[in-house]
Structure 1
C-alpha cells in the first residue's frame, strides 16, 4: 500500500488532506513540524510527502534538502508562497510538484496519482522500435549549457552562475542535481 506523509502545521488543512487520503485508501503518517518530518521520512520511508514550506521549527526547503539526502519519495509542496521564484526554488530544490494555497484537495489527490503512475511507468525502459535499442528515460538531460552564453542570472534573491553551476539564494548555496540546474538555467 502507498504511504503518504502530510507535513502541515495547520491542523485543519492536515485533517482535510487526511480525509481525502483515507478515502483513497492510502496509509497515512502525519506531522506538523519539519524536524519530525525528516525523522519520520527516514524511519518509515513514505512514498509521497505533502510538504508545507512554512513550518514552525525548520523551513520546508531545508526539510526537503535533508530528506533528499536519503529518500527518493515524491514530494509535493503545498504552500502559500505563490510567487514564480518560490515555485522555481521549490522545484529546483527537489520538489516533484508545487501546489499553492488555497488548493483543491481533489487536485492534490490527482497529482499524487499522476506521480505514482509515472513511477510505475518509469520502471520499464522504452524500446526504440526503429533501432531495436532502448531510448533514454524522460529524465535524462538532453541539453548542455553553452559556456559562451551569459554567465550569471539574477532574480528574486537567487543567483545562478552557469560557469561554476552554483545557485545561491540570498547568498546561501542551494544544492541541485545536474538536471535541476539545467532546468533552472533554461527557465531563467
Structure 2
C-alpha cells in the first residue's frame, strides 16, 4: 500500500462531505488524506455501527467502506446505509474474487476497489464521479427552487400536477415513459407520482435507457456509462457486464418491473436493454 496520495490539494468544496469506514488505521489515514486533497470534509469511523450513524448524521455524498470490519461486515453496513441514504459507496477489500465484487454491488455499493490500491486510481474514480453527477451542493440548491416555481410553458401542467401516464410528453427537464419519470438535473425519479429512491448507479442506468428510448443499449455501453470519465480504455470485462446486471436487477426491484412482463425496461437477450413497448405494457 502506498504511503500517500498525489495530486494538487483542493480547498474544501461546499457540499463535499465524505465518510471513511475502515478499521485499519493506516488505510483510514490514507483515505482521509486522498479525500481531503479532493476538497472533502471527511469523517472517519473504525467499525460498521459507528459508520452507519456517521452517514446518517453527516449525509455524505461519498462513503468508502471496507468489507472486513469488526462486528457488522461491510456487506451488511452497505445494506443498512442503502435503507436511508443515496451516498455513493466505494467498497474496498483485499478480496479480489468476482463473487465478492458482485456481493458488494448487490448489497448496494456503486463501485468496488481491491486492496492494495493506487491513491491516484481512487482519486480518479472520485473525481469522475463528481464530474458525472454534478454534485456541487451549491448548484443543486440554487437550481431546485427555480425548477419548482417556474411556470410551465404554454400552460403545460407542473411536475406536481402532470399526469405521468399520458404519453411521453413532459415539461422541460423530465423524461417519461408508461408512468415512469426521471429528471437528470434535479436527480429525481417517480413512478405514477410516487418517488423512487435510486442509487447513483441505478439512476445512471435508468437515465441512459430512458434517453435511448426504444434503441437497444448494450451492456458494454452501460458498463462504460457507470465508469464515467474513468473509462479511458473502453475495455469491458465479463465482470463489468455482470455488475450492470446486478445494478439492473436492483433497479427492476425498486421499480416493481418484473423481467417476464416489463412495464418499463425490456431485456434484449444477449444484447442489452431498451424501454418496453408502451402498447404491450398497457396490456399487462
Class of the TM-score when normalised by the shorter of the 2 chains: 0.5 to 0.7
**Rg comparison, structure with higher value:** 2
Return structure 1 stretches of 4+ with deviation > 3 angstroms. 133-138, 179-183
1:110 and 2:124 matched: yes
Q: Please state which structure has a larger fraction of its residues in strand.
A: 1
Q: Which range is displaced more, 63-72 or 85-94? A: 85-94
Q: How does 1:42-53 map to 2 (within 5 A)?
A: 42-53=56-67
1:139 and 2:213 matched: no
Shift of 1:177: 4.0
Correspondence for 1:120 = 134
Shift of 1:51: 0.3
Shift of 1:104: 0.8
Q: How does 1:156-175 map to 2 (within 5 A)?
A: none
Aligned residue-pair number: 145
Shift of 1:139: 2.0
Q: How does 1:1-188 map to 2 (within 5 A)?
A: 1=14, 2-120=16-134, 134=175, 138-140=204-206, 176-178=250-252
Q: Which runs of 5+ in 2 are unaligned?
A: 1-13, 144-173, 177-181, 185-203, 210-215, 217-245, 260-266, 271-284
TM value normalised by structure 2: 0.46
- What SS class does the counterpart of residue 76 from structure 1 fall into? strand
8 A contact 1:93–1:176 mirrored in 2: no
- What SS class does the counterpart of residue 92 from structure 1 fall into? helix
Correspondence for 1:153 = none
